Chain A
Amino acid sequence: MATWEQKREIEELLSREAHLLDEHRYEEWLALFTEDVDYVIPLREHIQGDVPPAGHPVVKDDKLMLTARVKKHQTGFSHVEVPVSMTCHLITNILVEDGPSAGELEVLSSFIVRQARKLRDEAWWAGRRRDVVRREDGQWKIARREVILDAPIYPRSLSIFF
């Protein structure tokens, strides 16, 4: 069972993360993840009856791929982020539970993200996240993240992070 102190630290971690993303401080954002992080956005579908599950997710990144995405945006030629999107990550409904193994915690949170592109283009993204966090080098890091996006059809191509 997570302690009050742990809950407070995790809430701060998630708030800090949201601010880093909204300020486009991607290097610092990447540092919040463990080296063996698994970052997944599964495909959401409306399924009826007995059929096989989705064949592949929308995103399944390791640290290297997350880094490659950040580096792509930093080239200055990642047109989908030129000019960079203004984002507002609202993170709430945070629950801190026991994790899958000792020293780890499972963290549930909900989010609404508004992405503003150029002058008038925008997208609203909402969903939940299921994270596994563990302490490394004296701080909490995200070792696994599953983003459950409430969007059977994405409102635009995905170029921001949750």
Chain B
Amino acid sequence: MVSVAELRERVNWKEGRISPAILFDEDVYELERERLFGRAWLVVGHEDMIPKPGDYVTNYMGEVPVMVTRDLAGKIHVLVNRCMHRGNQVCLFDRGNVQQFVCSYHGWTYDVAGKLIGVPLEEPLYRDELNKAENGLEEVPRVANFKGLLFASFDAAAPSLEEWLGEDVCWWLQTYVLVEHLGGLEMLPGWHRYQSPGNWKLHAENYIGDDYHVFASTHVSWFKVVGDLLEKGLLSPEMMTPGGERGTKYEGSAGAGYGRGIPFGMGMVVLDDSVYEFDLKEARRLGPEAVEWVQERHRRFQEVLKDREPKPYSFMNGAIFPNLGLMGFYSTAYGRHFLLFHPRGPWEHEVWQWTMVEREAPKAIKELAVQRVYRGQHMAGTIGQDDPENFERLTEMMRARRNWRRPFHYGLQLGHEAEGPEGLPGNLGPNPSEVNQRQFYKFWLELMESE
């Protein structure tokens, strides 16, 4: 087993040096199962995935398959997808609406709240000796709903979700992600999923703070294509990234040292009006209803932010510790991507993505917003297809343990983190930066150290 001293040596977040061993060492992975995925609050979905009684959606918590269900009384449960008799998987579908889950092995039957309601040949075979009340599906003990976003934790003694998230993270989450003041978000059902090489943390830390790769190398082919086609008038500006002068975009950090709670990082927090103007320009192309919405949502944002200064318009990418990525939060005309990075052993992970749009936006904006999800930062999109390629190349290098000796370099903007405007919850600093990756690993270490 890996010792605390070894972990500390491997995670030198203060100097921005992180050992590859925390990604690829089997012992670290085993400890992570227990200390991280075994007790963190994990996002398991959104309540709009299961609007009706009997609705369910399947997902993972770490490597544990779970069903997120709404029972007939409307209560939400997170159930481990394992028959209490012999451990068979009881639900084989991605989502559905049912009265009960029936195990294929011996037919034990559970209702959507997880209660064992049927055992074939119970009377002659078990002779009243089976305690059905003790053999319901295992219910994940802690479930919480944060303005629609569903979290669950295997740790019965976990702090409340609000305490875990921290006040500042809650503020960013409700103001910029779940946007109640805009009427909230609308669900587009369905998981978009793919396997990716490399440890799950590679993806999580990419979303939490790596805007360096976007413009420096990984996605330059996409920018070039968009630019060329725009110039020739061949492409509508739907894939254009709003501009903005250097210095108007910041890295946002909350939690893990920037206030209490877990790390929440946001890339490209936009403080000027460049994206608002871009949205207006697009909306004019889409019609008066769209213009009205862009102006109305701007007004509502100003209202919500009336006691704050500065007043960010939006942010582009983000992540909530440990494994939820966020994308597309900087324009009403971009759909919201929520991505779960599920571990599948130290060398592999899966990305499970779902899409939302602003509920009150007019149809033309919603359609454009959705299109931009699957054409852009998506497993088949012209942006998202390139990210796992980096992880594959890196992972190939790390098969030789010798290559673990030299730590990875997370030194971007080290010591300059506070060089941003004050006044908002958490911290705004220079973008791009690796401040959020450092905070991610700082908190990861804290969690992994504590018994």
Residue positions of A touching B, CB distance < 8 A:
41, 43, 45-61, 64-65, 67-69, 71-73, 75-80, 117-118, 121, 152-159
Say which one of B134-142, B221-229, B282-290 lies at the interface with A.
B221-229
A41 to B374, CA, bound (A): 11
Contact B235 A75 (CB under 8 A): no
Closest Cβ of chain B: how far from A120's Cβ, in Å?
A: 8
Q: State whether the Cβ of B187 lies closer than 8 Å to any Cβ in chain A.
A: yes
A72 to B196, CA, bound (A): 21
Closest Cβ of chain A: how far from B396's Cβ, in Å?
A: 8
Q: 9 extra interchain contacts, Cβ-Cβ under 8 A, other than A51-B97, A117-B392, A152-B94?
A: A51-B189, A56-B373, A58-B379, A58-B380, A68-B229, A75-B224, A80-B388, A152-B193, A153-B193
Contact B380 A45 (CB under 8 A): no
Number of B residues near A (Cβ < 8 Å) is: 54
- Closest-by-CB residue of A relative to B50 is A51
Contact A72 B382 (CB under 8 A): yes
Interface SS of B by simple majority: mixed
Closest Cβ of chain A: how far from B388's Cβ, in Å?
A: 5
A47 to B91, CA, bound (A): 11
14 contacts between A and B (CB under 8 A): A45-B190, A47-B93, A47-B94, A48-B93, A55-B188, A56-B373, A58-B379, A58-B380, A71-B229, A78-B221, A121-B392, A154-B379, A156-B195, A158-B380
Please indicate the chain B residues that have their CB under 8 angstroms from the CB of A58 in the complex.
Answer: 192, 374, 378-380
Q: State whether the Cβ of B370 lies closer than 8 Å to any Cβ in chain A.
A: yes
Please indicate the chain A residues that have their CB under 8 angstroms from the CB of B220 in the complex.
Answer: 75, 77
Contact A68 B95 (CB under 8 A): no
A22 to B195, CA, bound (A): 24
A52 to B432, CA, bound (A): 40
Q: Given the known A-B contacts A45-B95, A60-B374, A64-B234, are A80 and B192 also in contact in the complex, defined by CB atoms under 8 Å? A: no
Closest Cβ of chain B: how far from A159's Cβ, in Å?
A: 5
Which of B95, B224, B382, B388 contacts A156, CB < 8 Å?
B388
- Closest-by-CB residue of A relative to B375 is A65
Please indicate the chain B residues that have their CB under 8 angstroms from the CB of A52 in the complex.
Answer: 189
Which of B188, B224, B371, B388 contacts A77, CB < 8 Å?
B224
Please indicate the chain A residues that have their CB under 8 angstroms from the CB of B224 in the complex.
Answer: 72, 75, 77
Interface centre among B225, B375, B396 (most CB of A within 10 A): B225
Q: State whether the Cβ of B272 lies closer than 8 Å to any Cβ in chain A.
A: no
Closest Cβ of chain B: how far from A56's Cβ, in Å?
A: 5
Q: Given the known A-B contacts A56-B373, A68-B229, A68-B382, are A154 and B92 also in contact in the complex, defined by CB atoms under 8 Å? A: no
- Closest-by-CB residue of A relative to B58 is A46
Contact B355 A80 (CB under 8 A): no
Q: State whether the Cβ of B167 lies closer than 8 Å to any Cβ in chain A.
A: no
Q: Given the known A-B contacts A68-B382, A69-B382, are A49 and B189 also in contact in the complex, defined by CB atoms under 8 Å? A: no
Closest Cβ of chain A: how far from B98's Cβ, in Å?
A: 5
Interface centre among B92, B189, B375, B378 (most CB of A within 10 A): B189
Contact B225 A68 (CB under 8 A): yes
A65 to B224, CA, bound (A): 14
Closest Cβ of chain B: how far from A151's Cβ, in Å?
A: 9
Please indicate the chain A residues that have their CB under 8 angstroms from the CB of B384 in the complex.
Answer: 157
- Closest-by-CB residue of B relative to A57 is B374
Q: Given the known A-B contacts A55-B355, A60-B374, are A157 and B385 also in contact in the complex, defined by CB atoms under 8 Å? A: yes
Which of A75, A79, A159 contacts B218, CB < 8 Å?
A79
Contact A157 B192 (CB under 8 A): no
- Closest-by-CB residue of A relative to B54 is A49
A34 to B191, CA, bound (A): 31
A77 to B217, CA, bound (A): 8
Q: State whether the Cβ of B105 lies closer than 8 Å to any Cβ in chain A.
A: no
Please indicate the chain B residues that have their CB under 8 angstroms from the CB of A65 in the complex.
Answer: 375
A158 to B379, CA, bound (A): 6
Q: State whether the Cβ of B96 lies closer than 8 Å to any Cβ in chain A.
A: yes
- Closest-by-CB residue of A relative to B352 is A153
Please indicate the chain B residues that have their CB under 8 angstroms from the CB of A43 in the complex.
Answer: 190, 192
Contact B96 A51 (CB under 8 A): yes
Please indicate the chain A residues that have their CB under 8 angstroms from the CB of B228 in the complex.
Answer: 71
Contact B196 A156 (CB under 8 A): yes
